[in-house]
Structure 1
Amino acid sequence: MKLKIINSDKILYEEDVFYLKAPGLNGYFQILENHTSFISILKKGNLKFKNKKKIKKNLNIEKGILKVNKNFIIILL
């Protein structure tokens, strides 16, 4: 699935990933391939994901919005 993380200035990350773990308002949640479509508000925390080369990545965030649709995740920070 595709992951794209952007802020008001630039694209921070854009690559295929195996999974994403994100800090939602009610706690962390995980997204895997073929996840149902939804939108979530993100709170301060750590985005964790693994790319297709099996390299784990972490990104600290303050807040944001996440949208999942048809194996495409977009995060606006």
Structure 2
Amino acid sequence: MYLEIITPDKKVFEGEVISAQFPGINGGFEVLNNHAPLISALANGPVRVTPPAGAQLVFQIDGGVVEVLDNKIIVLAEAVIA
């Protein structure tokens, strides 16, 4: 599954992932391979990404929107807080 995390200023992350967890406005949710199509608003909170090799990555976002379609995830975040 391919993931992109984008802010108005830059592309924060792009690459293959096994899973991604998001802070939805109505509660957290996880996206795995072959997930059904989805568009959701995101709250402030952590996006947890598990790449094929290596440790889990965490990006603290300041709200945004996520789209899941055909094993591609695009996150349009207001900001990513370092």
Task: Give me the TM-score of the superposition, normalised by structure 1.
Answer: 0.97
SS in 2 for 1:63: strand
CA distance in 1, matches of 2:26, 2:9: 28
CA distance in 1, matches of 2:15, 2:55: 12
**Identity rate of aligned residues, in percent?**
35
Q: Which runs of 4+ in 1 moved over 2 A?
A: none
SS in 2 for 1:62: strand
The Cα RMSD (Å) is 0.7
Q: How many residues align?
A: 77
Q: Which residue in the other structure is 1:28 paired with?
A: 28
SS in 1 for 2:67: strand
How does 1:1-77 map onto structure 2 within 5 Å? 1-77=1-77
CA distance in 1, matches of 2:2, 2:73: 6
Alignment deviations for residues 23-73 of structure 1 (CA, whole Å, 9 cap, x no partner): 001110000000000100000110001101142000101100000000000
Q: Specify every segment of 5 or more residues in structure 2 that has no aligned partner in the other structure, as ranges.
A: 78-82
Task: Give me the TM-score of the superposition, normalised by structure 2.
Answer: 0.91
